[in-house]
Amino acid sequence: MICIPIAEATHQEALQAIERCAQTVDAVELRMDVIADGDLAELISAGRRASSRMKIIVTCRRKEESLMAPTGNQANRKKEISKAAKMKLLRQAVVLGADFIDIELAAGEKAIREIQSFRRKQKSLTRMIVSWHDISKTPSLAKLKEVFQACVKTGADLVKIVPYARKTSDNLKVLGLITYAKEQGRDIIAMCMGEEGKISRAMALPWGSALGFAVLPGGKKSAPGQLTVSAMMEFRRQLRSNQHSVQPWFLPPGAPNFVLLGNPVRQSLSPLMHNKALEAMQIDGHYSAFCVGDLAAAMAGIRGMNIRGASVTIPFKKAVMDYLDEIDADAVALGAVNTVVNDRGRLAGYNTDWLGLMQALKNKMSIAGKTFVIIGAGGTARAAAYGIKKESGRPIIVNRTPEKGRALAARFHCPFYPLADIGKIKAHCLINTTSVGMYPQIHRSPVAAEILANYPIVVDVIYNPSKTKLLRDAEAKGCKIVSGLEMFVYQGAAQLKLWTGREAPLQLMKKTVRERLEKLES
């Protein structure tokens, strides 16, 4: 149900707004704290006349829980309505047969009990919403659950919880709360206020909120971030017709959904690759990139919303390990997780980067007994050294910063050379794991072209561009080359296998990423 708050400044304007809403929406919320000279009896009967099916909610919000200061006629409304007057208004709403009255949890146990017994005495069908708003922040999901339970305890027919989103990940908490309430068999209205909270307003209804709040074009917003009714309907239409075109990454529980957690994530090709694969695998799910500011909240959201799987990228590959219930032995050895599998709230971490690289190598050569020069000493170099050792190959570390290179070499009991000395060594394969040559620095290479004659095979883990300067130089020297695109696709395919238990459509994924890269490069 979509509800329009009637938060006009005057009684006359409120009457007109009710008239405008009646044909479009399912419910109106009469904000009696804002409509300065509002006559409740007249407003309710105007609503009934305008539409017999439209539900009417009556509320009178405290200024502490409203981001909208009373804007009404200041002559009529000099100060906030007293507590006693509010109670009187709510009792009047019961007598007048409003469908719902909304009373804040902060009104206190006594006031809520009083309204309850008044409803009973009246044998009223008016239902009671107990609401809670935080106009400055979104607390943790655990705190939101506590508030929810406190509201339930009052005997509320419906609970409404609306905090203020400071960052995008706050939306995850309220959406997680909806899932929590649903699990308890309870109805809830939940969303975030504020510009950052828009996604939760759009998602609240499809996610299971009993009501979504919107405004008519030109109507008064009763809280920042409210969307127009048409924007909300368009969102729902998109969601039903073609999931893959839906911009926000949240989708209703039921379908297995997947996310990329990183910061930044805008350039990532993972959503394109994974969504194409999911479609081909006929899996009714969606994969979306999510730029994370607060990893703890994002992980709570994954549990709360039962997101089936996550890819984890820079800068969270290490930090994410603190939020997992179990970590696969390879990921522990690497000290990094790039894949999370959520098995009904139990989160397990894996690393598919090294698997992806090994698979890309195996397509070109056997690893056992061969020597591999790895340029770099970061996370990917570690994954390369780990995989090569595991496959009985012999890594050699070469790095710009000697201390880092030596430390990595010591970890894998292998030789180390400073980058300046790379011309002194030869091996079966050279693997670049630095970011030198990555878009936009496409004319750079980590090594001089002359030394490439020392390697029959040259691998670059960079996939944008798909053929780096290093690979172009290597090709010119007659080396076989392996692009980072291969590693990227194989690590993605390994993720899909972990999430779904099924083989991924490798060729399609490769084609999809290659075509996008070619488009970007042209």
- The C-alpha atoms of residue 184 and residue 245 are separated, in whole angstroms, by 32
Which residue number places its CB atom closest to ligand NAP? 378
Closest CA to 427 of 402, 404, 461, 393: 393
| List 364, 400, 480, 497, residue binding ligand NAP (CB under 6 A) | 400
Cβ 263 to ligand NAP, closest distance in Å?
Answer: 14
Structural contact between residues 364 and 480, judged by C-beta atoms closer than 8 angstroms: yes
Number of neighbouring beta carbons within 10 Å of residue 413: 9
Options 198, 317, 389, 469, the catalytic residue: 317
Dihedral of the alpha carbons of 230, 232, 234, 238, in degrees to the nearest 10: 180
Give the neighbor-by-neighbor strand order of the sheet with 158-162: 188-190, 158-162, 127-133, 100-104, 55-59, 27-31, 2-6, 212-215, 227-228
Which C-beta is closer to ligand NAP: that of 283 or that of 334? 334
What are the b/e assignments for 119-136, b being 16+ CB within 10 Å?
A: beeeebebbbbbbbbbbe
Q: In the chain, how many H helices and how many E strands?
A: 17, 21
| List 43, 251, 289, 461, residue binding ligand NAP (CB under 6 A) | 461
- Residue ranges with strand state E in 15-61: 27-31, 55-59
Write the DSSP string, 288-343.
Answer: EEEE-S-HHHHHHHHHHTT--EEEE-TT-TTGGGGG-SEE-HHHHHHT---EEEEE
Cβ 103 to ligand NAP, closest distance in Å?
Answer: 53
Residue 378 contacts ligand NAP per CB under 6 A: yes
| List 132, 180, 323, 463, residue binding ligand NAP (CB under 6 A) | 463
Directed axis angle between helix 198-207 and helix 170-183, to 10°? 20
Cβ 449 to ligand NAP, closest distance in Å?
Answer: 16
Which C-beta is closer to ligand NAP: that of 212 or that of 356? 356
Structural contact between residues 129 and 114, judged by C-beta atoms closer than 8 angstroms: no
Residue type, 343: D
Dihedral of the alpha carbons of 436, 438, 443, 447, in degrees to the nearest 10: 30
Residue 446 contacts ligand NAP per CB under 6 A: yes
| List 124, 484, 494, 517, residue binding ligand NAP (CB under 6 A) | 484
Cβ 301 to ligand NAP, closest distance in Å?
Answer: 24
- The C-alpha atoms of residue 465 and residue 477 are separated, in whole angstroms, by 19
Residue 434 contacts ligand NAP per CB under 6 A: yes
Residue 379 contacts ligand NAP per CB under 6 A: yes
Element (H, E) at 497: helix 484-500
Which C-beta is closer to ligand NAP: that of 115 or that of 447? 447
Which C-beta is closer to ligand NAP: that of 22 or that of 385? 385
| List 401, 450, 503, 520, residue binding ligand NAP (CB under 6 A) | 401
Residue 487 contacts ligand NAP per CB under 6 A: yes
Cβ 328 to ligand NAP, closest distance in Å?
Answer: 17
User: Active site includes 198?
Assistant: no
Q: How many residues bind ligand NAP (CB under 6 A)?
A: 26
Cβ 460 to ligand NAP, closest distance in Å?
Answer: 8
Residue 138 contacts ligand NAP per CB under 6 A: no
Residue 433 contacts ligand NAP per CB under 6 A: yes
Write the interaction track for ligand NAP spanning residues 333-372; mark x where CB under 6 A is met and - where it is not. --------------------x--x----------------
Residue type, 243: Q
Which C-beta is closer to ligand NAP: that of 304 or that of 484? 484
Which C-beta is closer to ligand NAP: that of 257 or that of 434? 434
Record the tokens describing residue 153, joined without a space. 């305890």
Which C-beta is closer to ligand NAP: that of 90 or that of 487? 487
Structural contact between residues 49 and 78, judged by C-beta atoms closer than 8 angstroms: no
Residues that bind ligand NAP (CB under 6 A): 353, 356, 376-381, 399-401, 404, 419, 433-436, 438, 446, 461-463, 484, 487-488, 491
List, by residue number, the catalytic residues. Answer: 317
